[in-house]
Amino acid sequence: MSAFVYGRLSRPRSRSRVDAAGDDLKIVDLVSGLVPAEILAAHGFILARYTKTTDAGVTSIIEGEAGRVGWIFVGLLILTVVAYLIGRGWGRPTLVDIPRLLIPPLAFVAWTALLGTSAMTPWILEWHKTMAVVSPENATIAAVFLGVLLLVVNAVTKPKTV
């Protein structure tokens, strides 16, 4: 599911009917909030262009392209927010829309931190140079905690299904 669709699901709904698929919508909300599909597709396309894989199966960013890939990561984060906002519509925002808005980009951050090589890799490696605490291993641990936190936030702020 996409961040756009997640935004659509987050739109204010009419309370005049009960949605028979309420339980299914909870799962859709969860998955779409944690996996913004259009951004993951763009990430996959970009990574295929700027990475190489050895015969041993090790994937790395092509030499000299780390800076470009790192900034593409920032662009994808921004696109995740834009997709959510377009899907949400321009109606009157509520206080709960703020954490909902943060779920797709933070999910993207968590997902890329869990990958071996991703658009976030240049940032992790750069931060590791200046702060020893930021390492690929610690980024993975932080991503797991972030994922659990996003599950909780999504459960608390989930859009109404009626």
Q: What is the overall mean pLDDT for the chain? A: 75
Residue 59 DSSP code: E
Residue pair 88/41 in contact (Cβ under 8 Å)? The answer is no
157, two tokens: 């702020």
Residue pair 31/65 in contact (Cβ under 8 Å)? The answer is no
**What would the pLDDT profile of 57-104 be if each residue is shown by its tens digit?**
888 888 888 889 889 999 999 999 888 888 888 778 788 888 888 888
The domains of the chain are located at 3-157
The pLDDT of residue 34: 65
**What would the pLDDT profile of 128-137 be if each residue is shown by its tens digit?**
777 766 777 7
The pLDDT of residue 75: 94
Cα(86)–Cα(3) distance, integer angstroms: 9
The pTM score is 0.71
Residues paired with 61 in a beta bridge: 51
